[in-house]
Amino acid sequence: MSTGQLKRFKGCEYLTHRLVLATLSGTPIRVEGIYPDEADPGVKDYQVSFLRLLEKLTNGSVIEISYTGTSFIYRPGNIIGGRVVHDCPTTKGIGYFLEPILILCLFAKTPTSLTLTGVTSSNEDIGVDVLRTSVLPSLQKRFQVGDELELRILKRGSAPGGGGEVNFLCPVIKESLPPIRLSEFGRVFRIRGIASSTRVSPAFANRLVESARGVLNPFIPDVFIYTDVRRGDECGNSPGYSITLVAETNKGCSYAAEHCGEAGETPEDVGSFCAKKLLEVIESGGCVDPYTQPSTLTGMLLSSEDVNTIVVGQLGITSQLVVFLRDVKALFNCEYRFKELESGQVEMSCLGKGYLNVNRRIQ
């Protein structure tokens, strides 16, 4: 249950991570100035939905939203986990809800089985394929949580209709997370990917694969892109197609890129654009890509009381990172240190808080 003093924040950039940090630290927060100048001011439906999801995953959380919706108070409760089902609004992808939750569920009372329904891949938010093939394996490796950390894509749902369904399984950890020290990112030795489509011709997925391979093969021959074509009950009502590419290095790092087909874009455009995005992420370098970076930084913060170091690429340095750093400072009283490297990357380090799972059921 929240016991600390109420912390105030202005604006709602990177709100989901702020709420997760508040839950982990047990600090009640007040967020003000939420889209006050817009024609439709106040918290958006997806933000309310995320608050409701936190309410389901915790016990004793209190959410008070102001009359105008431009401010709210969140008093976090205990993280209980368990079997949770949540409908995500189609205005945001499932990744918007799932990505910040990944670390939170590790510190729950019981193992989590979270079923989310909605849009499985969109260009605005992290897609479920990136989470399954890049982020989760990375977290499994870094935090030594094993194969129990799993994401199953039961149904695919494209925007705008959604109708996708995923099941996230997360164990609870018994000790604090191990410290992370990643300085070498190595060279890319293989590229894997998934080209998926819903309610369109199966040829679309093959066209995505061909165009992506056309860009990537001059760099490396070991490129294998699976196709996942869904029809009928296996997907939602909207037609769509997307591609996710993951490059793996010989030092155990991975870089991911994804892109969904929009109106007016051919599968060839989507495939080659995604491949070029991946090349840019590889060029940027670092030990984690921008998708894995938030979870890794949160894990570093919560790890055992030791120095954590990670090298991030220039693409990982964004204004959202600045918001995250300030939130961590406000809620955990911890600052990350930075060192610019000659190669252009930035080394980030912090001292772990030795965070223990106080919610875990004693057996």
Q: Would you tell me which residues interact with other proteins (CB under 8 A)?
A: 13, 183-189, 215, 219-221, 250, 262-265, 269, 273, 276-277, 279-280, 282-283, 285-287, 311, 314, 317-323, 325-326, 329, 335-338, 340-346
Rounded to whole angstroms, how far apart are CA atoms 288 and 144? Answer: 16
By beta-carbon proximity to other proteins, the closer residue of 9 and 168 is 9
By beta-carbon proximity to other proteins, the closer residue of 165 and 327 is 327
Strands (E) located in 3-147: 7-10, 29-32, 58-59, 62-65, 72-75, 78-79, 81-87, 110-118
Rounded least distance, CB 183 to other proteins, Å: 6
Rounded to whole angstroms, how far apart are CA atoms 49 and 142? Answer: 30
Rounded least distance, CB 185 to other proteins, Å: 5
CB distance 245 to 193 below 8 Å = yes
Write out the H or E segment, with its range, that includes residue 312.
Answer: strand 307-312
Rounded least distance, CB 26 to other proteins, Å: 23
Rounded least distance, CB 333 to other proteins, Å: 12
Rounded least distance, CB 184 to other proteins, Å: 5
By beta-carbon proximity to other proteins, the closer residue of 144 and 318 is 318
| Cα dihedral 77→29→303→182 (10° resolution) | 140
Rounded least distance, CB 243 to other proteins, Å: 14
* Token pair recorded at residue 57: 């995953």
By beta-carbon proximity to other proteins, the closer residue of 286 and 352 is 286
By beta-carbon proximity to other proteins, the closer residue of 32 and 269 is 269
CB distance 185 to 249 below 8 Å = yes
User: Which distant-in-sequence residues (6+ apart) come within 8 Å of 342 by Cβ?
Assistant: none
CB distance 297 to 180 below 8 Å = no
Rounded to whole angstroms, how far apart are CA atoms 144 and 327? Answer: 26
| Cα dihedral 205→257→254→249 (10° resolution) | 70
Rounded least distance, CB 186 to other proteins, Å: 6
By beta-carbon proximity to other proteins, the closer residue of 73 and 325 is 325
Of 80, 99, 53, the C-alpha closest to 298 is 99
Rounded to whole angstroms, how far apart are CA atoms 161 and 331? Answer: 37
By beta-carbon proximity to other proteins, the closer residue of 95 and 316 is 316
Rounded to whole angstroms, how far apart are CA atoms 363 and 357? Answer: 14
Rounded least distance, CB 11 to other proteins, Å: 8
By beta-carbon proximity to other proteins, the closer residue of 168 and 336 is 336
